[in-house]
Amino acid sequence: MSNSRMTVREIARLAGVSVATVSRVSNGTGQVSEEMRRRVLEAIEKHGYRPDHLGRALAAGRHGALGLVFPGLSGPYFTELIQGFESEAGPSRASVHILCTHLRSDSDAQVLEMGRRVDGVAVIGGTVSDDALLRLAEKVPVVVIAGQGPGDIASVRPENPASMAALTRHLLADHGLRDLVFVGNPQGSPDVSERWAGFRQAHRDLGVTPPAEPVAVGLQQADGVLVAQRLLGGTDPWPGGVVCANDETALGVLVGALGRGLRVPQDLVITGFDDVPTAALVTPALTTVRQPVRELAAEAARLLLAAAGRPGDTPHGSLVLPTELVLRSSCGCPAPSAGS
């Protein structure tokens, strides 16, 4: 009976040969004795075997798996990344192993250990040390997502500085705002560092003195709520606007501001970055920068799968994906049309 789910290991067992022999016969490569070839072909014909990615990987001494390294898994951003990565790995029959480094003191060692069990690793920028990345790249192909790795390690990242500069110029020039604050920690993320640079550049371009320091906090919604308490709870004047490094923080600031009875944007302008689904659903809807989160991860998976199919190869170069400014009500722009 034909069985399209038959695996290369099962065919090898039925034919009494090795997995490598089944691969050589099914792919028409390498030398195989006529007797072994006959047994393999009979098993393939009888059971309807169709070679797949995992079978080819096993025959080539690979694992049929890719690694994905995050700082943590909370929030919609990382959900989108996982879905994008699996959208490429899944059809290729490659499993995905996920490692979260948050609160791990042995992150570098764990990432290097992962490299022994997968055919390639995608790492979120800023998650592990440069030394660990270089050592990992000696074992398997490596791609950095949302950052730049050391040496010639490949990277896939969004366009950050120019898009954040465009958003900041919009607030300064089109809305006449001053005393903007930037919320995010440039030391904790390559993405945030580039956005902080774009924020400051927009001020300089318009002859406005930028703030000397950001409000350095994490990137979760709870951090944004705390920022709102800090900025709005004292006796100091409120800022003209809060420019957040990501949407989750911006949504937290929005919750904190509305909870204090402020009107957004009349009393306080709030903007984010990412364009997570919730950004368009809150009231007022969040002005932000849309980045192709799923495509970042999907492209990283494509690079790793291509390198895994060419032993000894490794991806190189830097790919920057475009972003888009999305103007909504939280900065004082007219409400957009449905779906924007």
pLDDT tens-digit readout, 104-136: 778 889 999 999 889 999 999 988 899 999 999
Model confidence at 332, pLDDT cuts 50, 70, 90, reads: very high
Model confidence at 54, pLDDT cuts 50, 70, 90, reads: very low
User: In the prediction, which pLDDT does 51 show?
Assistant: 57
Record the tokens describing residue 285, joined without a space.
């809807």
pLDDT at 252 over 90: yes
Measured distance CA(83)–CA(100) in Å, rounded: 16
pLDDT at 322 over 60: yes
User: In the prediction, which pLDDT does 32 show?
Assistant: 74
- Residue 145's closest CA among 168, 120, 125, 172? 125
Record the tokens describing residue 176, joined without a space.
């006449």
- Residue 76's closest CA among 278, 288, 281? 278
Q: What is the mean pLDDT of the chain?
A: 87
Hey, what's the torsion of the CAs at 165, 168, 174, 177, to 10 degrees? -150
Portion of the chain with pLDDT greater than 70, in percent: 87
Model confidence at 36, pLDDT cuts 50, 70, 90, reads: confident
> Which residue has 């049309």 as its token pair?
337
Between 98 and 59, the higher pLDDT residue: 98
- Residue 157's closest CA among 149, 165, 146, 168? 146
Q: How many CB atoms lie within 10 A of CB 18?
A: 13
**One-letter amino acid identity for 315?**
P
Measured distance CA(319)–CA(82) in Å, rounded: 19
Global pTM exceeds 0.85: no
The answer to whether residues 251 and 278 touch, using CB atoms and an 8 Å cutoff, is yes
pLDDT at 5 over 90: no
* Strands (DSSP E) found in 74-158: 95-100, 121-124, 142-145, 154-158
Q: Is the dihedral of CA 221, 222, 223, 224 positive or negative?
A: positive
Segment (H or E) for 70: strand 65-70
Please tell me what DSSP assigns to residue 287: B
The answer to whether residues 241 and 257 touch, using CB atoms and an 8 Å cutoff, is no
Model confidence at 161, pLDDT cuts 50, 70, 90, reads: very high
The answer to whether residues 331 and 264 touch, using CB atoms and an 8 Å cutoff, is no
**One-letter amino acid identity for 38?**
R
